[in-house]
Structure formats: structure tokens, C-alpha cells
Amino acid sequence: MERAFEPLDIVKFSNIREQQKRLQEIPRDDIKKIVDAIIDRGVHLIESDVNHVFFYKNPYYIPKHADAKEKLAAKSISEQIGSSFESSTDESDEEDEEAATFQEEWITIGNFDFVTAIHQLTAFVEKWDMTPATKFVVIAQEFAEEVKPFGHRYFAEIHFSKPTPKCPNPLAIAKLNFHINVCSYLPPFYPIMITYKFEGFKTMYYAVGERKLSSNKFQRYLIDSILHMKLAFYAELWECRNPLKPLEKRYVLIKQKA
């Protein structure tokens, strides 16, 4: 209302009118070409991401904002009725549920922080059903590789081993390579995408989205097989480097019998 009584800015008004005329003078065919080019560009980007590590569906329930509005409306109605105590208990229950399910939801693209992502990655691996005495350590350095034109990729390694009191630093170590992908085109409320590969295997596994495996048990079989193969290799290598030791033992046994 106050602007209606203000003096008219003739220069500003004339500039707006000129811009409107220019927009009206643009042919529809040219606008259609621009829109088609934008659509083709988007389709090309999505199709070029073969492994779906930068373009993917939101794995979480998208209309969270609508649910929040409904909760706020229900809360205001309950306050008007006078049941403030019940609404406070409901809020505490919701906070407990969010705290319990926080580790299951990865950090979003808009709130991405490398240290937080590594902490969530560690919590994700801790849920795996590993064999007894299996230990792991996370090795990560905040270095981003630019993957044009999709976004950035961070790297992390996890080393698994089975140390014992006699051998606290075992030779056999199973390595897992993790990729933390942050897309530059997806909305900021989308979660980051994390994939991982086991050492010696080509299959890529997903920690987020539709391709994520719900089982937490298959990882131990791959890790144990890697450790077993490495221990077998080291045993054969020891026998090759020390071929006379078994022969000396046999010679001593034969001499004692004689």
C-alpha cells in the first residue's frame, strides 16, 4: 500500500516495458529450441551416468515438508484444545525416533561435511555381522576429485584384519575401497551416494538407494575369503623360500629310526 502512494519511477518503468517487449519479440520456435536443448542436456547427463552414482532417485520419503506441515497443524489444534501435555510427549517420542534412525540416513548434499560422512561410514560398517576377532580401521583423507560434469568424488579405505596376542600386526589385510560421490545437479535435500568394492573383486556395492543390499552378513564371507587367500599365499611363499626345512625334519626322523 505504501508503494502505491510513492512517485512513479519513469526510468525504471520504461526499462521494464522494454524488457517485456524484447521477450514478446522472441519467436516461440526459438524458445522451444532452448527448452529442448536443456531437456536433451539433462537426458544426456543421466544416461551417461551408467552406474547411477551421481544421478539416482531419492531413497527417502520425499514429501517430508508436507508431513511437517501436517504435524504442525495437528499440534496447533491440540494446543487450542488444551492438550499441551500430550503434544509435548508426542514431540519427545518423535525426537527419540529421529535420534534412533539418524544413523540410517546419510548426510545430504546441501549439508555435506567430509568428517561427518566418514563417521557415518564407520557406523555403517559397524553394523556388519563380522566373524569374531575381526577388527578394522578407516583410512581417509579429505581430497576431492572433480568428475566432470557430474560433481566431486571423495575416497576412503577400510582395512580388515584378525590380530591375535601372538601376532598383533597380522600380515593378511583385506581392503575395501569406498567412493563418496557428491552430485552438483541434484537437489540439496538428496543424500550423498556411497559405493564400495572389495579387494580383488569387480562388483560394486551400494550403501544408499535402491541397489543397496539389506543383508549385513554377506560382507564377512568376502572379507574372510580375502584374508584366507592371503594367508594361503604367504604360507606357500614361506615354503618356497625355505625348501630345506621340511627335508631336514624328515632326515632327522629317518636317522633316529635307523
Domain extents for the chain?
Answer: 12-48, 116-241
Query: Alpha-carbon distance 59 to 194, whole Å?
Result: 13
96-126 confidence digits (pLDDT tens): 443 333 356 899 999 999 999 999 999 999 9
Confidence bin at 74 (pLDDT 50/70/90): very low
The answer to whether residue 2 scores a pLDDT higher than 60 is no
Give the model confidence (pLDDT) of 34-49 as tens digits: 888 989 988 999 999 9
Q: pLDDT > 70: what percent of the chain?
A: 64
Q: What is the pLDDT of residue 8?
A: 53
- The closest of 207, 191, 199 to 172, measured between CA atoms, is 199
Mean per-residue pLDDT, 148-158? 95
Question: Which residue is listed with cell 499441551?
Answer: 84
Q: Look at the chain and count its residues.
A: 258
For the ranges 83-87, 122-126, 145-149, the lowest mean pLDDT is seen at 83-87
Q: What pLDDT is recorded for position 141?
A: 85
Query: Which stretches of 54-203 are assigned E, i.e. beta strand?
Result: 135-147, 151-161, 174-183, 193-198
Residue range 155-161: average pLDDT? 94
The winner for highest mean pLDDT among 69-73, 84-88, 178-182 is: 178-182
What angle (nearest 5°) sits at the alpha carbon of residue 204, between those of residues 133 and 143? Answer: 85
Give the predicted TM-score (pTM) of the model.
Answer: 0.66
**Confidence band of 247 (pLDDT split at 50, 70, 90):** very low
Task: Say if residue 223's pLDDT is above 90.
Answer: yes
pLDDT bucket at 88, cuts 50 / 70 / 90: very low
- C-alpha 191/C-alpha 149 separation (Å) is 19
Q: Which of 175, 217, 210 is nearest to 193 (CA)?
A: 210
- What is the predicted pLDDT for the residue at 157? 95
